[in-house]
Amino acid sequence: MSTAAILTAAGSGSRLGHLLPKALVPLAGVPLVVHAARRLVGSGAVDLLVVTAPADSVADFQAVLDGAQLGIPVSLVVGGASRQASVAAALAQLPPEISVVLVHDAARALAPSSLIARVEAAVRSGLRAVVPGARVTDTIIEVAPAGGGALDGRPLAGSVLEVVDNPDRDALRIVQTPQGFDRALLVRAHAAGAHRADDETRAATDDASLVAALGEAVHVVTGDPDAAKITTSRDLRLAEIVLADARAADQSGVDPADDQTGAHAVRHLGDRP
């Protein structure tokens, strides 16, 4: 039984304030895609890596990945019109011996190797679809457009909303990557959702939602704060602090990571009856 990781890296870096593709934007001098790839390899759980890249940047990605000397086979696939399409293209390139697939975002460049290993081990244990989930610490509300009314005799602005529900945050999780799957199940999920893949407004934003749409169980293991997505320039600055803290902890011999584990069935909120 072999494991492949699909690393999605075809997104734009515009919200990071860069002209480069997001995955090539440097974090402490190293491209995000290299940070993510090294942590995948460092987990000891990945035998093969497939990276999705923008069509006009394949040579640049090849150069940085070759320079990273990852020590496992690495291939590049041109990304599609959406993340879903990119993953489907990479999935189609996997050799037949692959039975477990991890799908990870290069934008979650600091997701620790321990988290990656935890997800992969859960799939190998027999859970066919596994995601990491971080606990919600803020109060979450569900809102809807306000039903009219006035303030000081003036109509409420159209942007005013009203609270319609206060979900119990103990029952909520922030979904992260890598997400792990039995290969056959992931292939079936992408085939069923293929009609959405080329329309970015309808495409799935993660792979677990495609699996859940089949009526299959998706399980959750404990996530990690360092697996946060780097989307904006502020996120990048925060990631630099996280990385510096981790390096300082390594030098001091102190491990700041919370390595608690757990696995629970989860129903996607979008699948409410």
Listed in order, strand segments (DSSP E) in 9-56 are 26-27, 30-31, 48-53
Q: Where are the domains of the chain?
A: 2-136+172-271
pLDDT score, position 197: 96
Percent of the chain surpassing pLDDT 70: 87
Question: For 235-251, what is the mean pLDDT?
Answer: 91
DSSP annotation string for 211-250 = HHHTT--EEEEE--GGG----SHHHHHHHHHHHHHHHHHH
Question: Which pLDDT tens digit goes with each residue over 105-117?
Answer: 999 999 999 999 9
Question: Which pLDDT tens digit goes with each residue over 175-216?
Answer: 999 999 999 999 999 999 999 999 989 999 999 999 999 999
pLDDT score, position 153: 61
Which carries the bigger pLDDT value, residue 246 or residue 224?
Answer: 224
Question: For 240-265, what is the mean pLDDT?
Answer: 67
Strand partners, 173: 135
Question: For 154-176, what is the mean pLDDT?
Answer: 86
Annotate 89-111 with b (16+ C-beta within 10 A) or e (fewer): bbbeebeeebebbbbbbbbbbbb
Band of the pLDDT at 148, cuts 50, 70, 90? low
Total-model pTM: 0.88
Percent of the chain surpassing pLDDT 90: 78
Question: For 133-155, what is the mean pLDDT?
Answer: 81
Distance CA 10, CA 79 (A): 6
Question: Which of 182, 12, 3 shows the shortest CA–CA distance to 81?
Answer: 12
* Residue reference for tokens 């300082």: 248
Is the pLDDT at 268 greater than 60? The verdict is no
Q: Which fold has domain 2-136+172-271?
A: Spore Coat Polysaccharide Biosynthesis Protein SpsA; Chain A (3.90.550)
pLDDT score, position 11: 86
Question: Which of 112, 267, 84, 118 shows the shortest CA–CA distance to 190?
Answer: 84
Distance CA 82, CA 199 (A): 7
Question: Which pLDDT tens digit goes with each residue over 16-27?
Answer: 878 889 999 999
Q: What is the DSSP letter of 22?
A: G
Cis status, amide bond into 256, omega within 30 of 0? no
Question: Which of 179, 185, 228 shows the shortest CA–CA distance to 208?
Answer: 179
